[in-house]
Amino acid sequence: MTMLRDYWYVGALAEELDRIPLARVLLGSPVVLYRNRAGAPVALQDLCSHRRAPLSRGVVLDDDIECPYHGMRFDGGGRCTLIPSQSNIPRAAHIRSFPVQERQGIVWIWGGEPESADPATIPHFPWRDSAEWNSEISYYYHVKADHILMTDNLLDLGHVAFIHADTIGFDARKLAHDPLVTEVEGTSVRNTRIIPDVEPAPAVRRWGHFPGLVERSSISTWYPPCFTNIQFSSRDERTSVELHINHLITPETDSTHHYWVFISRNFELDNDVLTKQMREDNDVVHHQDLDIVEAQQRMIELVPEATEMAIKQDKGLVAAHRIMDRLEREERAGSPSQESA
C-alpha cells in the first residue's frame, strides 16, 4: 500500500473501545483493539503467532488477550505470556503491537516503527476542548476508494460548487472569478477562498437564518499523512456562523479507507434541534463526496490505464502530492521527516 508510515492515524473513537476486542484493518494490517484493566487502549496485530487465528475473536483476561483457538495469551506490548502446552516461550511467539494514544476522544495508532513514535506529534484540535464550541457532531464512513481520492477531494475546493451545489455549494457558473488562493507552508497546504456578497449555501442559510447575502470564507489546511482541517464561515452584519471541520483518513486497503469527520460550531451551542439538523445536513454533504470518489475508484479499476490532467485550480492538490512523494521517498531512505500540524 502507498501510504506514509511514520505518522499517527485514527484507529478508533475512544467510545468504541472497552474490554470486548474490536477488530479493524488499519494501514493494510488486521489490528485488534481493547482496553486493559487501567482503561488504557491496546492495539495488537490481530493474528495469533501460532496458527493465524484472529485474536479479536478471543477474550480479554486482565491485561492480556487470549487466542480463541488454543488459548495463547499476549500482553499489551505483544509479548506472548502463555502457551498452554509448554513452559518456555520462544521469541517467535511474540506479536506486533502498535503504539496507541488516547486524546480528545480519539484513539491514535502509530503506523511506523514503535521507537520513533512521539506523542507530541499527535494532531491537537483546541476547539474540541473549548466551552465556546459545540463538538457533538462526528461521523464515521467506510469508503470503497483509495484514500488518496478522498485526500484529493478535500484538497480541491473546485468541486464544492458542483457536487455540493444543493447543500453547502454555490453556483460557480454565476461566479466571474474564483478567488482561490493556495499557499504551501512546510509540509502543509492551505487553500483559502473568500467570496463577498454571495448567496449563502442552502444548508448554511438554514443554520444561520440569513435573510440575504453573506461573506463566505473557507480556509482548508491539509497536512500529512491524510488530514484536513477546514475553517468555514458565513457572515452578514448581523450574525456569523463558524465551523471547524476535521477530516481524518486512515487507509484500510489499497482500495478502501476509514474516514472520520468531526464538526465543531461556535453558535447556538445548546440548540439540540440545530445539532440534529446539522448532523443530517452534513451527512448528505459527505455522501455526495463518498459517491463521487467511489465512482472514480470504479472507473480507475475499469480503465486502469486512463491518465489524469491537473488544471489550474489543482495547485493545492499538486503541491500536496509533491509533499507526499517527497516524504515517502524520505521514509524509504530512512530519514523520516515528521511535521504534523
Question: Contact positions toward a second copy, by CB under 8 A?
Answer: 25, 29-30, 46-47, 49-54, 57, 66-72, 83-86, 90, 92-93, 152, 156, 158-159, 161-163, 172-173, 178, 180, 292, 295-296, 298-300, 302-303, 306, 308-313
Nearer to a second copy, 38 or 309 (CB): 309
- Cell representation of residue 319: 503541491
Nearer to a second copy, 52 or 332 (CB): 52
| Single-letter amino acid, residue 241 | V
Nearer to a second copy, 120 or 303 (CB): 303
d(CA 25, CA 49): 17
Nearer to a second copy, 67 or 241 (CB): 67
Are residues 73 and 61 in contact, defined by beta-carbon separation less than 8 angstroms? yes
Number of Cβ within a 10 Å radius of residue 125 = 20
- The helix/strand/coil state of 55 is helix
Integer-rounded Cα radius of gyration of the chain:
22
Supply the minimum distance, in Å, between the C-beta of residue 191 and a second copy.
12
Supply the minimum distance, in Å, between the C-beta of residue 25 and a second copy.
7
Supply the minimum distance, in Å, between the C-beta of residue 298 and a second copy.
8
Supply the minimum distance, in Å, between the C-beta of residue 256 and a second copy.
12
Nearer to a second copy, 208 or 251 (CB): 251
Supply the minimum distance, in Å, between the C-beta of residue 28 and a second copy.
9
| Single-letter amino acid, residue 257 | H
